[in-house]
Amino acid sequence: MTADRRVNDYLDDVARMLASIDPVDRAEILAGLREHIDASLTEVERPVDDATVRQVLTELGPPDRVAASALSTLGPVPRPIDRPTAPVALSRPPLTQPWVPVTVGLLTALTVGLYLLVLGVSVALLVTEQPATPPGAGSVDTPTPLLPASYDILWNMLAPLPLVGVPWLVSTILLASSALWSTWQKWAGALLAPVLAACCGLVAWFGSLVQPGVTRSVVLVAVGSAVAVAAVGVLVRLWREGARRAREPVPAGVPA
């Protein structure tokens, strides 16, 4: 083995033992060792051969001891877990931000409000309806109760659609796509408008079957009030639950 090869092998061993430190520090240490070895070889009066190099390296010490001495001068090397890291910015997914429950609440309120208006007007008209005058003895009565009843049912159910169709569709999509509500809350919000439309139709159907009077008025007012209270309760619950969850801290592990 040549002298240069032995020196290079020695420095390579030291470099492997210093693999955990910064590359700049490692390069400086190796450069200092090479300079020290070269200086020691220069001071030798006889020609430099393999035996001379081996003697200089022996005096310098084994590679592990040289590496340990160099590490002690640098201080403890921080482990990767101890190194400071930049804080990870956390943000909410788009459909869990505070604007989502506000939008869903306003759109649902518009839908519910229009159908409750139709329901209230229908109940008021049926309650104030006067009994029909009995036909004269000589007249021919040919009642067709299903035809006007069908018109009323369809009108009560479909008349608000041009105004509530788009808001209901948008609110339903937001409800279904957002994680702010549970599954049953999503179903309740999505079915709220169809259920109110069906109630408006049922009120018209019931009014066509039962003759005007106290009984019909009491039933209609009770049903209309119960439907209105239930619809408003569902709306308020959806809005409050969504707003509460939107204010909760962002779960860890959700990067911006």
Q: Please provide the DSSP assignment of 89-134 as one string.
A: PB---GGGSTHHHHHHHHHHHHHHHHHHHHHHHHHHHHHSPPPPPP
Q: Is residue 136 part of a domain?
A: no
Q: Is residue 151 part of a domain?
A: yes
**Residue type (1 letter), 203:** V
Can you give the pLDDT at residue 155? 66
Same-domain pairing of 226 and 120 = yes
- H or E segment at 149? helix 146-158
Same-domain pairing of 64 and 127 = no
Token code pair at residue 39 = 């200086």
**Residue type (1 letter), 116:** L
Same-domain pairing of 105 and 64 = no
Can you give the pLDDT at residue 123? 84
Can you give the pLDDT at residue 230? 94
Same-domain pairing of 12 and 118 = no
d(CA 72, CA 110): 74
Q: Is residue 157 part of a domain?
A: yes
Domain count along the chain: 2
Cβ–Cβ under 8 Å, residues 131 and 212: yes
Same-domain pairing of 108 and 225 = yes
Can you give the pLDDT at residue 132? 60
Same-domain pairing of 51 and 123 = no
Same-domain pairing of 65 and 11 = yes
The boundaries of the domain holding residue 192 are 94-131+144-247
Same-domain pairing of 64 and 167 = no
Q: Is residue 139 part of a domain?
A: no
Same-domain pairing of 108 and 231 = yes
Q: Is residue 253 part of a domain?
A: no
In tens digits, the chain (256 residues) has pLDDT values of 577 788 888 888 888 888 888 888 888 888 888 888 888 878 776 777 778 878 888 888 888 888 888 777 766 555 444 455 555 555 667 788 889 999 999 999 999 998 888 888 888 888 887 766 555 544 444 444 444 555 666 666 777 778 888 999 999 999 999 988 999 999 999 999 999 988 888 888 888 788 888 888 899 899 999 999 999 999 999 999 989 988 877 654 444 4
Q: Is residue 256 part of a domain?
A: no
Q: Is residue 87 part of a domain?
A: no
Same-domain pairing of 173 and 105 = yes
Can you give the pLDDT at residue 92? 65
pTM above 0.75, yes or no: no
Name the residue among 122, 109, 105, 228 with its Cα closest to residue 164.
109
d(CA 46, CA 34): 20
Same-domain pairing of 103 and 51 = no
Token code pair at residue 202 = 């049922």
**Residue type (1 letter), 96:** T
Same-domain pairing of 51 and 107 = no
Q: Is residue 255 part of a domain?
A: no
